[in-house]
Each structure stands twice: as C-alpha cells, then as structure tokens.
A and B are shown apart, each in its own frame.
Chain A
Amino acid sequence: MSETKRIEFEYSQIDSERMRLNVGPQHPSTHGVLRLEVELDGEIVTEVVPHIGYLHRCFEKHCEKMTYPQVIPYIDRMDYISAMNNEWPYVMGIEKLMGIEIPEKVEYIRLIFAELNRIANHQIAIATFGLDAGAFTPFLYLFRDREFILSIFEKASGGRLLYNYFWVGGLAADVHKEFKQDVLAIVKQVRETNKEIADLLLYNKIFIERVANVGILPADVAINYGCSGPVVRGSGLAFDLRKDAPYSFYDRFDFDVITGHGEVGTVGDCFDRNIVRFHEMEQSCRIIEQAIEQMPMEGDVREKLPKKIRPPKGEIYTKAENPKGELGFYIVSNGTDKPERIKSRGTSFVNLSVLPEISKGYLFADLIMILGSIDIVLGEVDR
C-alpha cells in the first residue's frame, strides 16, 4: 500500500499566475453574442474586457439609404425586447421637425403600449436574472404573463416581437374594441404574478445571499459612465426622463420614480438594480390604469399621417425613457426624404461600458450576475 502523499503549503504563498479566460461569444448566461475577456487571479476577477460587435449590422449606414418610414422596422431590431419603446423617440423626433400635432388618442395608445412593453421588458430582465442565479420556475411564470402582453400587441400590429406600429403622425392600425378591458385584465394578472415572484425569487434567502453586496455601482460613477435607467436608479439617483424631461403625457399621471436604497445590502448592488425593475412594473401598472381611464376611444389613428415624409433641413436630438434607460436619436435631415444621418444612443451600449468598472474584485461567478443585473440586449449594443 502506497503512502498517501500530502502536499504541505500555505494558501497565502501560492504563486497563482493570473489567467486570461475567454467567456463567450455564446455562453448561455451572456444574454447574447457578447465576448468577455476576463483576467482571473484564482477565482477573483481582476480585469474584464468586453469585445462587442458580433451582431453589428451597420444600422446607421443603412438608415442613410432608407426613407424615413423605412427606418422604423430597423429600429425595432435594435432592442428587440422593447420594440415599441424604441420606435417612440424616433417618430417623436420627426414629428417635432415636421411640426405634426398628434391626436390625443394616438398619444394615449402609444403611452399605454410603451408602458406595457416596459413591463414585458422587466419581466424578461427579472426572469433571466433569476435564471442566471439558477431559479428556473419564476422564469416560466414571467414568460407566461409576457405572452398576454404580446397577444395585445399582436392584435394591434400583427407582430409579436417587432411591430412597426408607431408611424410618423399616427399608428399603423387602430386598437380593437375590447382593448381597455384586455389591458386592465393584464394589469391585474401582472400584479398577481408579481406578488408570487416577490416571495418565490426576489426575497428568497438564497437569492439575496447571491446578489446582495455584489457589483456595487456608486451614483457618481454611474453618472460619469453615462448609465441610465434602472442601472443608475439602482444606485439611488432618481434620474428618469419621464419626470425630468417630460415628453408625451407623462406629466398628467401620478407615479413614483423608484430608486434603490440598499434594502438588503449596499446601495447600488445587483439586488437594487433588480428590485428597481420589479417596483417599476407596479408604477407602469399605475400609469396604464390612469391612461386607460383618460383615453378616448373615438377618433382615427391614421388621420394625421402625412403623405410625404420630408422633414425640413435641420437636426434634432430626441430622447425617451426606454425600459433600459435613455434612448436617444440624433436625426440630421437634409431636406430630402432620406435622412442625412441618424445616430442612435444605444442604452445597452452605454450601460455595458460600466461592466469592467463594477466587476473588478468579485468572484467569477458574480461576474455573470453583474452582467445579468445590467440587463443588456446585444441587438442594441452592436446595432
């Protein structure tokens, strides 16, 4: 019988050479084709270098060859999870340039659809974040609810993911007759499921242990990196364009801006970013309820559609609060029916740039959670 060999060493004296690890471009938890080059010291992340561009399709170059309405389907494909929200700032910008007044009904429908899409987006964000942590059941519940929202979109636009529904000056089609009842039923359903999700996932001890005090992002760093949306609000800063630079009818509704306040850990950790999304769903429900009450059902949604979309020579920057943050379009018009240049401020593109900053010094397993908490969509990062 051979003697067992024991290696005597002290952990502190191990000369662990740093290791560079390639994560992606197709790791299931990377939320798309993102490649991270990670430098590890043992299990601790010392450096993260994101390599992006795998989905790059030169959206901005395409736009220069398209007429203004032809650009809208491309914009759907940027953040394909919240396509309704994406179309909004773009059509708003052109309407401002052309001076088109939007009928009240159209504006309400847009607002309700944008808020519904915000709920759908946050459902995916929370569901996949739970999935990253190993919680599979909430994922199924949330996706089931998202189906109801998608079916409303389908009834209105014909599409389930990419809508091409907001047109310059109006909408592609009117909503169906029972629209109001259907939306209110969804709101009720969302609230019921959310109660379950809070018990099942968000305030689950195992989940909290996993996400609290991880990936802390201080508010000043968040601003300096240009973060917006739940990422910056999770750090305790109430920056929401719906309140700060009100567009559409947002000044008519009573809702709160949710910020993180370190409920179970430090302000600005993964838990805070996630819980902000969760509570924002409730605020969206409130906005939808008020909007449904005020919305007129009579009127034509296509009456203001211009025959020719040819904005005057000029340029405009319009922004709106996307579920993921500030989405802006810088539209330069040269007086023809094709844009001179369209520059989009991809929300996820900017939010992702903070990842190397906030994942240093955490365990490698936490890096996946931090990435999940930023909630990126690679279609928008790469454009």
Chain B
Amino acid sequence: MLAQEIYEKLKAEFGDAIIEFKQEPFFDPFVQVAPEKLFDISLYLRDTPELDFDYLSLLGGMDYKENLGVVYHLYSIKLKHSFILKVTVSKDNPVVPSVERIWRSADWHEREAYDMFGIRFEGHHNLIRILCPYDWEGFPLRKDYVQPDEYHGMKVPY
C-alpha cells in the first residue's frame, strides 16, 4: 500500500492526531503524529489486516535543535510495504509513549534513544541507559552536548 493511502486511512481513523503528511523529493514520505495518540496509532498500524506492520525496522531519536523527535520505520513482512512515523516533543519535557508492548524490538531501541537524547518513553518496563555507562551524565547525541572533562578520575577527551 502506498504511503498516501495509509495516510488517508489514518486520517479517517484518528483525525486531528495526524498532524501532517509530507511527500517531497529527497524525502521518504512520512506522517507526523501527535505523541499522545502514538500508542493507539501504532497498535492500529500493526493490527489492521490490510496494513499489518508487524516489523519495526528502526526507531531512532532525533535532535531538531528546538525540539526532539523520534522516527519509526515500519515494515510489513507479509505485505512488503513500509511506512514512516514521526513524533516531535519539546526539549523541556520529552515524553513519548513507549511502543515496546507492540513491537518488542522497540525495547532496546527506546533505551538507546533515552541514552543518547534523554527522551523518556512512558510505559517502558526498564528504561535505563544501554550503550553508555549507567552513571553517565548528559545525553551525547544532543547537538548542544558538552563533553565532560573526566569520568571517575579518567580523562575523557583523548
């Protein structure tokens, strides 16, 4: 199914929660959704037979300078089509509902996004750092991140 058709289906089902649909050259078409409705939209995308997005390829945090975002790349193994969801949240209170209960692969991806960007996923069963040490401070992939001088007495910049 084409991204345009999926967007129309979502728009009919969720209305205002679907903020915009963007189809431009050099961009894979994507749909921007409201973070509050993300869980329901994801569940709908997975459980509707003609959409059947059972496979979460990639979940990645983003830093859009004024706010943070999360990008979801979905794929359907049976129907062989893909789709992109995006949410944006403010830097002051970056909370996104967790989709870990829908796609278990989101578990580690969400922990990574939390580790790198400080995006908190509400409903995640174990949201702790994954790649950085557990007591690391700051979120390295944010654009305004300042590297600490030392970590437990070890010099960080090499």
Contact = CB atoms under 8 A, between A and B. Distances in A.
Interface of A: 52-53, 56, 58, 60-61, 97, 221, 223-227, 237, 239, 244-245, 311-317, 319, 326, 328, 330, 332-333, 341, 343, 345, 349-350, 353, 357, 382-383
Contacts of A245: 80
A98 B140 CA distance: 29
Given A341-B62, A345-B58, A353-B108, A330 B73 contact: yes
Given A314-B25, A353-B108, A56 B56 contact: no
Contact of B26 (A227, A237, A313): A313
A315 B63 CA distance: 14
A223 B73 contact: no
Residue among A316, A319, A326, A330 with max Cβ neighbours from chain B (10 Å): A330
B60 A226 contact: no
Contacts of B103: 224, 226
A223 B130 contact: no
B105 A353 contact: yes
Given A61-B140, A226-B103, A328-B73, A319 B62 contact: no
A350 B116 contact: no
B28 interface: yes
B131 interface: yes
A58 B109 CA distance: 15
Given A53-B132, A357-B104, 10 more contacts: A60-B116, A224-B103, A224-B105, A245-B80, A314-B24, A314-B25, A314-B27, A317-B58, A328-B58, A333-B26
Contact of B131 (A56, A226, A311, A317): A56
A328 B54 CA distance: 17
Given A244-B80, A312-B26, A319 B60 contact: no
Given A53-B131, A223-B55, A317 B26 contact: no
Contact of A53 (B24, B62, B80, B130): B130
A330 B104 contact: no
Interface in B85-106: 103-105
A52 B131 contact: yes
Given A223-B55, A224-B103, A328-B58, A52 B130 contact: yes
Interface string B56-68: 1110101100000
Contacts of A311: 26
A225 B56 CA distance: 8
B10 interface: no
Interface residues of B, number: 32
Q: Count chain B CB atoms within 10 A of each CB in A311, A317, A350, A357 and give the residue with the most.
A: A317
Contacts of B109: 350
B157 interface: no
A312 B27 CA distance: 10
A189 B140 CA distance: 47
Contacts of A244: 77, 80
Nearest to A237: B77
B49 interface: no
Given A237-B77, A314-B25, A53 B133 contact: yes
Contacts of B43: none
A314 B26 CA distance: 5
Contacts of B27: 314-315
A56 B140 CA distance: 12
B113 to A, nearest CB: 10
B98 to A, nearest CB: 15
Contacts of A317: 28, 57-58, 73, 84
Contacts of A382: 131
A315 B25 CA distance: 10
Given A52-B131, A223-B54, A383-B131, A349 B60 contact: no
A226 B105 contact: yes
